[in-house]
Amino acid sequence: MAVTVAELAAQLGARVEGDAESLLQGVATLSQAGPGQLSFLANKKYQHQLATTTATAVLVSESEAADCPVTAMVVDDPYLSYAKAVAYLYPEQREPGGIHPRAFVDESASVDPSAWIAANVVVEAGAQIGCGVQIAAGCVVGRNVTIAADSRLHANVTLYADVQLGQRCLVHSGTVIGSDGFGFANEKGKWIKIQQLGRVIVGDDVEIGANCAIDSGAIDDTVIEEGVKMDNLIQIAHNVRVGAHTIMAGHSGIAGSSVVGKYCAIAGAAGIGGHLEICDNVTITAMSMVIKSISKPGVYSSGIPAEENREWNKRVARISRLDKLNDRVRQLEKKL
């Protein structure tokens, strides 16, 4: 959609320095933007591109406004304002209500007339589909599943029986919610499956990326609280609780019965062991392995950054000699 700079500025609460009547029809990076496009500067790394940009307007902070060669839209947080601008310029495309003739909806299921059920979707007995829900092709909605208003499932999402999905949730393709938790008891070397009796409860405004797996609870429920944002390829085990507004990057995972607090940030490939508690406002950096509970807010790390191979080999060689060095130190201490 095309809007004037002034119209967009009103939506964002931005101050305009320059031509407020010029039209904006899309967004682009500083280096690629041209006439009719909006850009933004949120990272000092790209500050040098501001001087040569040909964007019609740029979202900038107060400190960068004087250096902007085109119309400046001055905001407190350019990245946040960019997110809001994109949502305004590119409104979500939604299908009108209805059920595709090639969908199967059990006669005992309840589907709001404003919901859209695409081709090859299966909605099983007792499911409840709320107003404005969008379910794309190939999804499976299990028995007694509840999907609240305005949530959206992309193609080939599977919701097992009894899953509850809140309002305005977004679930990307390939994700499975409510699969069996990994529960087995050992009998003389043979693994005996433990029936998983809990559900998965997902709060409002949760986004779950592609190819994630969220297991049902063993006895109690697995709970994803409101506002949680999950990247692709994430594993949430049985009985886990993820606190409100926590964000998780790709390939991270949480083992069974652990509780992660609110407003946490878990970076890529981080792992959290089972039966742990992570307090609110904790950041876990990439490739970290959490093996004990965290009770104090802050940043926690254990991953080893990559380095040049020769230096890494030297470091490993030094580590392999630590035991011998420790023995020598002990001998010296005894002599002293």
Q: Number of helices (H) and strands (E), helices first, in the chain? A: 4, 39
Over 90: is that where the pLDDT of 335 sits? no
On whether the pTM is more than 0.85, the answer is yes
How sure is the predictor about 262, in pLDDT bands with cuts at 50, 70 and 90? Answer: very high
- Whether 37 and 122 have beta carbons less than 8 Å apart is answered as no
Q: Which amino acid is at 300?
A: Y
The whole-number pLDDT of residue 304 equals 84
Reported as a single tens digit per residue, the pLDDT across 87-123 is: 999 998 899 999 999 999 999 999 999 999 999 999 9
Token look-up 């299921």 returns 109
Over 80: is that where the pLDDT of 1 sits? no
Q: How far apart are CA 90 and CA 215, in angstroms?
A: 34
CATH class of the domain defined by 98-300: mainly beta
The whole-number pLDDT of residue 305 equals 85
Q: Which residues of 153-168 are buried (b: 16+ CB within 10 A; e: fewer)?
A: bbbbbbbbbbbbbbbb
Q: Is residue 112 helix, strand or coil?
A: coil
Over 80: is that where the pLDDT of 268 sits? yes
The whole-number pLDDT of residue 55 equals 98
Q: Which amino acid is at 316?
A: V
For residues 16, 20, 23 and 27, what is the CA-based torsion angle, rounded to 10 degrees?
Answer: -10
Over 80: is that where the pLDDT of 309 sits? yes
> Which active-site residues does the annotation give?
238
Q: How far apart are CA 158 and CA 145, in angstroms?
A: 11
Reported as a single tens digit per residue, the pLDDT across 226-241 is: 999 999 999 999 999 9
Q: Is residue 58 helix, strand or coil?
A: strand
Give the architecture (CATH level 2) of 3-89: 3-Layer(aba) Sandwich (3.40)
